[in-house]
Amino acid sequence: MKYYLAVDIGASSGRHILAHMENGKIVLEEMYRFVNGNIRKNGHLCWDFDRLFAEIVAGIRACADAGKAPDTLGIDTWGVDFVLLDGQDHVLGDTVAYRDSRTQGMDAVLSRYISPEELYERTGIQKAIFNSIYQFMAIRRDHPEYLEQAQSFLMTPDYFNFLLTGVKKNEYTIATTGQLVSAKTNDWDDELMERVGIPARIFGKLCMPGTTVGPLKAEIAQKAGCCPTVILPASHDTGSAVLAVPANDDDFIYLSSGTWSLMGIERRTPDVSEKSMHYNFTNEGGYDHRFRYLKNIMGLWMLQSVRREMSADGRKYSFPELIAMAEEADGFPSLVDVNDDSFLAPESMTQAVKDYCAAGGQKVPQTPGEVMVVIYNSLAKCYADTVKELEEMTGRTYSRLHIVGGGCQDMFLNRKTKLATGLDVYAGPVEGTAIGNIMVQMMADGTFASLQEARTCVAASFDVKRID
């Protein structure tokens, strides 16, 4: 049996999903799961990359111990975050997370060197204050010595691949999230970097999904109990999730639903027009140089945060319990702009929702159920608005919405989304990101001859529900 391992690390959790082919279908098995989240260090929100790497190795070990050592593995994570390595391959500074406040005001700093309009025209990436380019502005302000000492730049999954194999490779799809890649050339924009004071020498050649990184280093293989070859998937988790949409036509919009909601379409050419910028669409890189023309929406982060706050007293609320509360409060009239910066990393999400409603003269939610239903209705409205904008930008209509990822299990949100958008809504597969990761590994070894063939197999292999 040949096994393929997807190491899928999100902002709140990570999992090792093992796959093999059986009777012409992809079969998945979750082998290992671990928690993730930010830690506070030296006044900043940071990732604990040392612990995450230990979890990566432990998960590989779990496969080996079960007698299912993977032949290949691929790692995908969230976008925009990175490390700088010095000449001895040591990380410079702390591994600061994108939700940290260090980038506040960095858009004003960046605009001294390049206008927002030209930046969008060059990169096609929507403005988000946490993008890598703004993080670089913060580093230049706080630690200019890091830019002098840096010899290598690696995005989060690139760094974990390096720790596993000793090989440095910059993967294309995740690189595009940082707003440093040209939408025209699909390569690093060296001229942009020179203008804004980022050393172009630290960026390696961009590699496409399907590229072989290499086998595990001997000492890592010993800890892991096996020696799989590391393959680059679409290393940005959304890039992998989009691959798993079980459709081969172009009459659909996708929604990758997790901590973030990523909603959009696939296209062969980017749209870097002023109108596209006005609507805040992004042109992220995808498999085979496709563009993921989408909008980043705050997503389940808001619901996850409310759940965490409610569980602070030791009582653990399940999502079904929270949904039941929201259903009871359904009809509560207030709405919020889910993409408002006040919801990015508030001390209390519950209070942030209340404050937003109060500031706008709306009825203020009082119960947890009312807070939840405000978020649910606001997400559904944002999805519906995004559908209209996509149709306006492309000059066409779409009949279906495919929701993939863990959020597709929330039937309350699915039904509200169907009602708000008026589209036929299909939910599944749940493990969309891991499946997309595995699809690239399988295409790399010839199991599937094309993306079309792989997507046909996904449609036959996994449960996809039509929402009534």
* Cβ–Cβ < 8 Å for 12, 259: yes
Question: Rounded CA gap, 271 and 353, in Å?
Answer: 33
Tokens standing for residue 208? 């496409």
Q: Which residue has the tokens 């050419």?
A: 269
Check if 237 is active-site. yes
Question: Residue with structure tokens 């798993």?
Answer: 244
* Structure token pair of residue 400: 């279906």
Angle between helices 349-359 and 301-310 (to 10 degrees): 120
Q: Which two structure tokens, joined as six digits, stand for 213?
A: 């990184």
Q: List the one residue out of 341, 344, 351, 343 whose CA is nearest residue 312.
A: 351
From the list 387, 381, 392, the residue with the least C-alpha distance to 419 is 381
List all residues 6 or more positions away from 183 whose beta carbon is below 8 Å from its beta carbon. Answer: 122, 123, 124, 125, 270, 272, 283, 291
Q: Which of 237, 249, 341, 463 is catalytic?
A: 237
CA dist., res. 94 & res. 148, Å (int): 16
Residues with Cβ < 8 Å from 142, sequence gap 6 or more? 102
Phi and psi at residue 14, to the nearest 5°: -135, 155
- State the catalytic residues: 237
